[in-house]
Chains A and B, each alone.
Chain A
Amino acid sequence: MLDYILVQALNGLVIGVIYAVIATGLTVIFSILKIVNFAHGEVYMMGGYFAYFVIALLGLPPLLAVLVAMLLSFALSVLFERTLLTPLYSPTTERKGDYGILVTFGISILLRNLAIIVFGPFPLRPPSFFEGSLVVGNFVMSWDRVFAAGAGVVLLVGLLAFLSRSAWGQALNAVSQSRESAAIVGINDRLVYTLAFGLGGGLAGGAGALVGPIYALSPSMGLVPDTQAFVIVVLGGMGSVGGSIIAGLLIGVSEGLFVALFPDPTRSLAYAQAFSLLVLMGVLLVRPTGFFGRVHVAME
């Protein structure tokens, strides 16, 4: 029994890394554009399909496929940002928060249904990136999961390094704190917004690409991580990258434990999702702005 719990917890940790990647993408978008991206799950979904087709059509190796999927997701996000989100930066637009919600919600409808048409409504199981499993004593984990967790960690570390060391990363930080001050210092805030939205999308797409062989692809696969990402971001605090990472891991592990410990196995998977949603609602009730985050600031 303990073994089973441990296995579930470790699986949960792997998923937690993926959640953390998705959630940090959402957090980056939130800190800089000050909107909640309701289309985040759909970009994640597109990333999964991008990777699949890149491998199927071009025969690229897995790591490269994931990178290409991330680039394509980045490009897709930039496209949406340039065409639909520019009113957020104009002083004449009213109720920017509502605009952000409705527009990203609209994008999610568009992408999801477009995916149904182009890819078909049925789940698609991409071939494994790496065959076989890692076996350590009693513990077995597919190499795909190990790869996903490892790549996820690399992405997170890379993001943190980017944000703290590179010039663009620091520009992102500056704009997230104060757009006007950043502009005074000479930072081109329009480019930063585009970069932020693209970066968030790239992270989501990367997560989708990594997860494809593990969980299969379907056009509605974005709906679940959508809400999961919200749970995590709210738990970890909108606007705090570190908080999102920690919360992502926590949610992943607790989900794994929930499935392991829930008395009724036929219902456990379905309710696992409801569980995180209830956690989300609970957190929002107690701390309407999340645990580690800064107070919700509207775009200046």
Chain B
Amino acid sequence: MRRLPIAAMAAFAVLAFAYPHLVDAYWRTVGTLAIFYAIVAASWALLVGYAGQFSFGQMGFVSLGAYGSALLVQWLAIPFPIGMVAAVLVCTVVGAGIGFVCLRMRGPYLAIFTMAFSEVLRIVILTENEVTGGAGGLEVAPLFHSRTVFPYYYLALALLAGSLGLMGMMVASRWGLFFRAIRENEQAAAAAGVKVVRFRILVFAIGSGVAGLAGTFYAPFIGILTPDIGSVDQMGEVVAMAVIGGAESLPAAVLGAFFVEALFEALRAYGEWRLVIFGGLLLLTMRFARNGLLALAWEQVLRLGPVLQRARSIGRPAES
């Protein structure tokens, strides 16, 4: 994984901070939503791209976090941060549980299992509408007195920074090596002394916890929560975002989420066709640029480097 140059990261941070002041309210909301998706996409990239654990359950954990925190706050009248922490804990534990029971499952079976888990959750939420509001939706109290998007945006940004920081640290450390080793060849990883069981469970726990965290943010932000958040189509959006960006890199997945979300809004005029376009983009990316479109673009940019250097050195006297 290439280390992003500090300059680029700093520039990005400045841009992210300034963004809401540069655009109108509509795009502020879009930006906040994009950050939400970025957090989920990054957690998916960690699980699937980095550790090779093919999970289609991320949105299930998002909905678990969202409904969990919203309902806890509603019933127990606890302050939102406590509800958030509790919901994230539940998601982490359930995620670890899924990681544990799936230890013997590989690839497509894991995908099917996690997809089934998400669907069961969605059905239960939909059907038990006395508790959850079902298809009509669950109203969630807003977090801030201000009626604008600004505080939500900055909260989302903080959560993104926090989760990227956490996952990034894991990935940069020896744990990142172990995850990749497990992805490349689980048998060899075990023979090399990597505690495969522990790390598979761990990556599931973290991935689910982060997704749940995104969910706890989503609930008050969106105001009305519906079971659709855990649907296959939503999962598909997140998958498209991570794959188009670059599924094996956390920053690429984040950028993929921004890119897809921006495209989504920019193509508003096309209505339903947008999802078709994203499906198509996903397919094109898989077929021709497996590491992600943005990763491909980045490589092209890197290739320009030596070309630019040569261009600069023409016209300079040769050094003796």
Contacts and interface: CB of A to CB of B under 8 A. Distances in A.
Whether A and B touch (Cβ < 8 Å) is answered with: yes
Interface of A: 35-36, 38, 83-84, 87, 95, 97-103, 105-114, 116-117, 223, 227, 230, 234, 267, 270-271, 273-274, 277-278, 280-281, 284-285, 288-289, 296
A109 B113 contact: no
Contacts of B275: 109, 113, 116
A108 B280 CA distance: 10
7 contacts: A84-B283, A95-B52, A113-B272, A116-B272, A273-B123, A288-B104, A288-B105
B243 A285 contact: no
Interface stretch (B65-73, B114-122, B252-260): B114-122
Interface in B260-291: 272-273, 275-276, 278-280, 282-283, 286-287, 290
A131 to B, nearest CB: 34
Interface residues of B, number: 41
Nearest to B280: A110
A98 B107 contact: yes
Contact of B120 (A230, A274, A296): A274
A10 B134 CA distance: 32
B233 A109 contact: yes
B287 A113 contact: no
A101 B233 CA distance: 15
A223 B273 CA distance: 20
Interface in B222-236: 232-233, 236
Contacts, number: 116
Interface of B: 48, 52, 54, 56, 101, 104-109, 111-113, 115-117, 119-120, 123-124, 126-127, 232-233, 236, 239-240, 243, 272-273, 275-276, 278-280, 282-283, 286-287, 290
Contacts of B127: 267, 270-271
Given A116-B272, A227-B119, A281-B117, A97 B108 contact: yes
B31 to A, nearest CB: 24
Contacts of B233: 109, 112
A278 B101 CA distance: 14
Contacts of B287: 83-84, 87, 103
Contacts of A107: 279, 283
Nearest to B123: A274
B236 A105 contact: yes
A272 B146 CA distance: 44
Given A102-B239, A103-B287, A109-B233, A284 B279 contact: no
Given A109-B278, A117-B273, A281 B111 contact: no
Nearest to A95: B52
Contact of A103 (B48, B117, B273, B283): B283
Nearest to B107: A97
A42 B29 CA distance: 33
